[in-house]
Each structure stands twice: as structure tokens, then as C-alpha cells.
Amino acid sequence: MSVLLYLVPTALGLGLIGLFGFMWSMRSGQYDDMEGAANRILNDDDLQDPQVRPAANDLTGP
């Protein structure tokens, strides 16, 4: 029963830390652009054009 004297305040403290973290993220604008991340994952900007091939000298170096 005495262990509850440690567990209950610890659980309440962790819950308050999580609540304050969530409130901070809301105020700092973490959730403002919900559409941007969903559209950004669909872009293939990092892929090269398959018709453009590097020259053999580009891979060997000096």
C-alpha cells in the first residue's frame, strides 16, 4: 500500500508533463500544416530522370 504513495504522484507528474508538451506543440504551430506532410511524401524530387545517365568518368574520380 505504501508503494501507492510513490506511484500515484509519479503517474500524475508524467501525465502533466505530457499535457504541457502537447500544449506547447499546439502553441508553437506543430499541427498547422496537416496537408503539407501528406503531399510532400508523394513528391519524387529526390529521383533522377531515368534517361539521364552519369558519364563513366564521373564515377572514377581524378
pTM, to two decimals: 0.54
- Give yes or no for a contact between 31 and 25, defined as CB atoms under 8 angstroms apart: yes
More confident residue, 18 or 35: 18
* Whole-number pLDDT of residue 50: 59
Query: Under DSSP, is residue 55 helix (H, G, I), strand (E, B) or coil?
Result: coil
Mean pLDDT score, 5-28: 97
Residue 18 CA to residue 40 CA, distance in Å, equals: 28
pLDDT at 13 (0 to 100): 98
How many whole angstroms separate alpha carbon 12 and alpha carbon 54? 59
pLDDT in the model for residue 54: 58
pLDDT digits (tens, 9 = 90+) for 23-62: 999 999 888 887 877 787 777 766 666 565 555 555 555 5
